Amino acid sequence: MTYATPNKKIPGVVAPGSTDVENFKENSDYLRGSLVESFANPLTGSITEADTQLIKFHGAYQQDDRDQRLRRQEKKLEPAYSFMIRMRMPGGELTAAQWQKIDEISNTYGNETIKLSSRQAVQFHGIIKFDLKKSIQMMNDALLDSIAGCGDVNRNVMCTPDPSLSAVNEEVYAYAKKISEHLMPSSRAYHEIWLDEGKGEGRQLVEGGEHELEPLYGKHYLPRKFKIGIAIPPYNDSDVFINDIGLIAIVKDDKLQGFNVAVGGGLGMTFGREDTYPRLATVIGFCKPDQVLDVCAEVMMIQRDYGNRQDRKLSRFKYTIDQYGLNWFKQELTERLGFKLGKARKAVFTTTADQYGWHKDMNGLWHLLLHVEHGRIQDTPLLKQKTAFLKIAETNLCNFRLTANQNMLLHGIKTADKVKIEKILAQHGQHADGRELSGMRRNSIACVSMNTCPLGMAEAERYLPTLITKLEPILEKHGLREQEIKIRMTGCPNGCGRSVMAEIGLIGKSMGRYNMYLGGDAQGERLNTLYKENIDEAAILELLDNLFADYVSTRGKNESFGDYAIRSKLVAATENRV
């Protein structure tokens, strides 16, 4: 299918009053900007403002160590700048050899930890400016890249990773990769700048004008980030409704029929801006497998053409849909596609949780889902998880898949090799099935926040484990230790840990203080609602102690904590159900 190039008459396309980022893109020569010069400048650990925006399209963010900010300021030193790189790895898949390379990069250039993100990607933190190119080249040696890891483009495509959970898992999984490839920017800037490809020659030889070079995106790319996720019911472990496009695999008699298409999800909001809000994607129809690439591309290009480029707080696709209306959107999509989506099929989700432990697939291979606390892989005195994963990778007995709950799936293990894997894990303190953990810990997500995220207002990843340790005796007291209560924490309202989908969501307001949200469901189909504002740890513990007591004494059969919060009118159910 040939897609329409950006039409300058359409309102969203860059116009007077556009944001700085739009202007940076416009003047960047397809994402090149002055990155080469910035990275060669020996006088500072930072890069120019325009380049800090452009480098995102190459998968990296400039950050500084927030723990050191004040001290360095007092000493009149520039902030301790470093870079975070986020890889593009649809469905979170890596071979054992690639995992070894990732381990090596983190030790050689990063802060010796490996971060598994809430979108099934690996992040390296703490890479100094002068090592960024070497890190990218090392990734490339293992056939890995970070193109479109961030930036105003389609991001890492998520997909339910565990082949034992559905007969069509691998077929669906392949679509995550196909969609990711299909929607990749085509600028060669990444290859030229980081991999020294062509050194710029040849680029000018591209014929046919600017959009030949970037046929899907044009030179202004999208107004904002764009996300696609796929889930296979009944498992919603990729939180499909939080995506700009959510694809729900429809399976009959173990055969993939196609996908229900949901549009307009997104979780970010800004305190004090009432016009920003989280929104769950709305199911608009069904497409066959061979239509899904075009559907994703055309939906994305409607956002390219109509998305808000004047205010980045309002530029996500969810606002475009709400501004123009769902009916308008469906009509526009039909016109662009040249066919109408079918009627959405029935799809029932039961959980967003990862299924820990060993599972066997239809081909007799085993898959082991392991808990990683908030996705941070490192060695601690009690748990040498980083070494364990490296040793397992060195055996070459399995591949690796990351989950959207920030966990790890070791996959494709032969029956005879299970015991070898278990032995390595046990030697390094890792339990295989996560049963030693409370249900709440197994179901927790925290975003990075301190010390690298510039937007964090409170701790998240570094604090939630401690908070859960303090909650565990309370859960025990109420007989709730095993109950899978979904708790999520983010250091700000951007929603990176999807806290607004949790049964208990904690969103940072300032250091040590959080807003508490209640009423999310277990299956990822309901946003939660603000319950208490700006509370500290003592208040969180006391409130939850009382609520757990009431929950246990009044709950109905199989009633989840989130459903209880709504039934007992602690919070109103959100309107935004799918």
- Binding residues vs ligand SF4 (CB under 6 A): 447-449, 453, 455-456, 460, 490-492, 494-496
Pick one of ligand SRM, ligand SF4, none as the site partner of residue 386 (Cβ within 5 to 8 A by kind).
none
Q: Quick check: 163 and 169 in contact, CB under 8 A?
A: yes
**Which member of 133, 188, 227, 526 is catalytic?**
227
Where in 511-570 is the site for ligand SRM (CB under 6 A)? none
Q: Which three-class secondary structure state does DSSP give residue 98?
A: helix
Regarding 264 and contact with ligand SRM (CB under 6 A), the answer is no
Clarify whether 555 is annotated catalytic.
no
492 noted as active-site residue: yes
Q: Which of 53, 98, 123, 515 binds ligand SRM (CB under 6 A)?
A: 123
Distance of CA 191 to the CA centre of its chain: 24
Q: What is the number of other CB atoms lying within 10 angstroms of the CB of residue 538?
A: 9
Q: How far apart are CA 379 and CA 262, in angstroms?
A: 40
Distance CA 285, CA 263 (A): 10
Residue 447 bears catalytic tag: yes
336 contact, one of ligand SRM, ligand SF4, none, CB 5-8 Å limit per kind? none
Among positive and negative, which fits the CA dihedral 48, 50, 54, 59?
positive
121 binds, among ligand SF4, ligand SRM, none (CB under 5 to 8 A by kind): ligand SRM
Query: Does 184 sit near ligand SRM (CB under 6 A)?
Result: no
Residue 309 engages ligand SRM in binding (rule: CB under 6 A): no
* Residues 280, 229: Cα–Cα separation, whole Å: 13
Instruction: Tell me which of ligand SF4, ligand SRM, none is bound by residue 443, counting a contact when its beta carbon lies within the kind-specific cut-off of 5 to 8 angstroms.
Output: none
Spatial separation of the C-alpha atoms in residues 527 and 376, rounded to whole Å: 26
Q: Which does 91 bind (CB under 5 to 8 A by kind): ligand SRM, ligand SF4, none?
A: none
| Residue 528 to residues 152, 317, 543, Cα–Cα distance (Å) | 28, 21, 17
Taking the CA of residue 375 as centre, how many other CA atoms within 13 Å lie in the half-sphere pointing to its CB?
A: 28
Neighbours of 209 (CB within 10 A): 8
Based on the residue annotation, tell me whether 69 is a catalytic residue of this protein. no
Structure tokens at 394: 């060195």
What does residue 85 show for φ and ψ, rounded to 5 degrees? -115, 135
> What crossing angle do the helices spanning 326-337 and 317-324 adopt, rounded to 10°?
100
Q: Does the active-site annotation cover 287? A: no
Residue range at the interface with ligand SRM (CB under 6 A); choices 22-30, 39-47, 136-144, 447-455: 447-455
- Told to check if 500 binds ligand SRM by CB under 6 A, we report no
Of residues 32, 188, 225, 304, which has the active-site annotation?
Answer: 225
Report the alpha-carbon distance of residue 389 to residue 372 in Å, rounded. 11
In the complex, minimum distance from the CB of residue 367 to ligand SF4, in angstroms, rounded to a whole number = 29
What is the nearest approach in angstroms of ligand SRM to the Cβ of residue 84? 5
In the complex with ligand SF4, the residue whose CB is nearer, 264 or 491, is 491
Binding ligand SRM (rule: CB under 6 A), the pick from 494, 515, 523, 528 is 494
- Whose tokens are 């990711």? That residue is 180
- Residue of the chain from 126, 268, 289, 505 that contacts ligand SRM (CB under 6 A): 268
Residue 86 site contact among ligand SF4, ligand SRM, none (CB < 5 to 8 Å, cut-off depends on kind):
ligand SRM
Q: 3-class DSSP state for residue 115? A: strand
Q: Find the part of the chain contacting ligand SRM (CB under 6 A) among 164-172, 262-270, 323-331, 507-515.
A: 262-270
Q: Is 119 in the site for ligand SRM (CB under 6 A)?
A: yes
Segment (H or E) for 376 = strand 376-377
Q: With CB under 6 A as the contact rule, which of the stretches 128-136, 253-261, 464-472, 490-498 interacts with ligand SRM?
A: 490-498
C-beta closer to ligand SF4: residue 58 or 115: 115
Nearer to ligand SF4, 122 or 302 (CB): 122
Residue with smaller CB distance to ligand SRM, 107 or 113: 113
> At a CB cut-off of 8 Å and minimum separation 6, what does 361 contact?
163, 164, 169, 367
Q: Judge whether 153 and 145 are in contact, CB under 8 Å.
A: no
Would you count residue 227 as binding ligand SRM (CB under 6 A)? yes
Interaction residues for ligand SRM, span 385-414 (CB under 6 A): 406
* Choice among 119, 155, 188, 309 that is catalytic: 155
CB of 53 to ligand SF4, least distance (A): 16
Q: Which of 453, 488, 509, 526 is catalytic?
A: 453
Place of tokens 């959080």: 514
Host H or E run for residue 488: strand 487-490
Q: Select the binding partner of residue 566 from ligand SF4, ligand SRM, none (C-beta < 5 to 8 A, by kind).
A: none
Task: Assess 375 for contact with ligand SRM (CB under 6 A).
Answer: yes
Contacts 24+ apart (CB under 8 A), 268-277: 268/316, 268/493, 268/494, 268/495, 269/493, 269/494, 269/495, 269/500, 270/313, 270/493, 271/493, 271/509, 273/313, 275/313, 275/314, 276/313, 276/314
Ranges of H-type helices in 47-128: 49-57, 69-74, 96-108
Binding at 88: pick from ligand SRM, ligand SF4, none (beta carbon under 5-8 Å per type): none
SS3 call for 286: strand
Binding mask 23-62 for ligand SRM (x = CB under 6 A): --------------------------------------x-
Active site residue 159: no
Angle between the 418-427 and 385-395 helix axes, to the nearest 10 degrees?
A: 150
Residue placing its CB nearer to ligand SRM in the complex, 86 or 526? 86
- In the complex with ligand SRM, which residue's Cβ is closer, 110 or 289? 110
CB 156 within 8 A of CB 228: no
Q: Of 118 and 515, which CB lies nearer to ligand SRM in the complex structure?
A: 118
SS3 445: strand
**What is the nearest approach in angstroms of ligand SF4 to the Cβ of residue 519?**
20
Q: Residue 219: which of ligand SF4, ligand SRM, none does it interact with, CB under 5 to 8 A by kind?
A: none
Q: Which lies closer to ligand SF4 via its Cβ, residue 271 or residue 328? A: 271
Write out the catalytic residue numbers.
Answer: 86, 155, 225, 227, 447, 453, 492, 496
Binding site for ligand SRM (CB under 6 A): 61, 63, 84, 86, 117-119, 121, 123, 155-156, 225, 227, 239, 242, 266-268, 316, 375, 406, 447-448, 452-455, 494-498
